[in-house]
Chain A
């Protein structure tokens, strides 16, 4: 079996892409779920403020999403850009 340096680098980049996206997805998933859970709790207490609470929930989740998007960007860079 042939084994070259360029192969090793490419293989490591692809494995790295998988690990980056996989581990990077854990935090946002849990964090956004917690935000949504607390929003549901608050809506149960004050249903008349549902609009405001849903908006706040979505803004908070969008911020929490950012690290997930960083992971996605890094994974795509590792797959398609770096040589």
Chain B
């Protein structure tokens, strides 16, 4: 039984829709659950502050939900959007779009829950600093959404790109690899960025006077955690827009798929690790603000070493792309 291209594309768009919202639902739910748990915990000590804590919890959860909503939007577009049906590559692009939007929502969803939970705890401990705590929570959770925005951008590019006269081999693997690279590499930075934000909120509750050094160290720490998401995004853009010659073998295809997997998985560890570093460093910045410079320096050295494997992955991914 022969199946025509349009049928494959149709099937792939539904598969991509399921993958997108399926993976995308993991992160937001876990992050929001964590926030609610922390809010309940502090409410048992401070029942009179229920209004304020509940408000902070809901604002924090709303930010964490962003990632899940992006995945939902992509999956709706895949289900009800118009299929072009000109080129068999479209099927792979839809699968890649689902993977990019879905996987990238995992880290950002979980990550955004950490600052929100820490902010609820911090409010209960230091109600007078509520303004600064909420501000730091919002900065932390919104920067944590960067990786899932990268995922959304790649998903849209994959859905609306002009397939033109691109050859089926090796572009099918380039599209799949582009989705996997940004999607997987976003998990670590999202998770890690959230940890840094949580450390900042915790630290503010201990020492609200040290707001300046805490916010500065937080921004530096979160910025570093996002680096591997940027590498993943970069590899996806290269896979999408570099022109590959048509090939008659499987070798270039699997090289491109390998590049996507190398950078995707390789971005997870450094992102989480740098986030753990930032969490502990931020905790101490609030305790001993006079040593903030020393702590920021040590944090950056530690994060740089943790980054190394992410850079190896980037190099291997680039070598694989050039080999194709």
Residues of A with Cβ closer than 8 Å to B?
1-4, 7-8, 10-12, 14-19, 21-41, 43-45, 47, 50, 53-54, 57-58, 61-62, 65, 68-69, 71-72, 75-76, 79
Contacts and interface: CB of A to CB of B under 8 A. Distances in A.
B110 to A, nearest CB: 14
Contacts of B310: 25, 29
B102 interface: no
Given A11-B251, A17-B320, A44-B291, A29 B279 contact: no
Interface of B: 169, 184, 188, 192, 248-251, 253-255, 257-281, 283-285, 287-288, 291, 294-295, 298-299, 301-303, 305-310, 312-313, 316-317, 319-320, 323
Given A22-B184, A36-B276, A37-B278, 18 more contacts: A2-B248, A18-B261, A22-B266, A24-B309, A25-B312, A29-B306, A30-B269, A31-B273, A33-B303, A36-B302, A37-B276, A37-B279, A39-B302, A40-B302, A44-B285, A44-B287, A71-B309, A75-B262
Contacts of B266: 21-22, 24-26
A40 B249 contact: no
Kindly name the residue among B295, B316, B319 whose own CB sees the greatest number of chain A CB atoms within 10 A. Answer: B316
A8 B250 CA distance: 7
Nearest to A19: B261
Nearest to B228: A29
Nearest to A61: B305
Contact of B295 (A19, A21, A44, A68): A44
Given A36-B301, A72-B312, A14 B276 contact: no
A68 B270 CA distance: 11
Given A22-B266, A29-B272, A40 B257 contact: no
A43 B259 contact: no
7 contacts: A11-B253, A14-B255, A25-B313, A29-B268, A32-B306, A41-B283, A43-B284
B295 A14 contact: no
A39 B98 CA distance: 40
A72 B315 CA distance: 9
B294 A57 contact: no
B262 to A, nearest CB: 4
Contacts of B272: 29-30, 33
Question: Do most interface residues of chain A lie in helix, strand or loop, or is the interface mixed?
Answer: helix
A19 B258 contact: yes
Contacts of A71: 309, 312
A58 B300 CA distance: 12
Nearest to B254: A11
Contacts of A3: 249-250
B159 to A, nearest CB: 24
Contacts of A58: 301, 305
Contacts of A72: 312, 316
A32 B257 CA distance: 28
B262 A44 contact: no
- Residue of B184, B248, B273, B274 with most partner-chain A CB within 10 A: B273
Nearest to B271: A29
B249 A33 contact: no
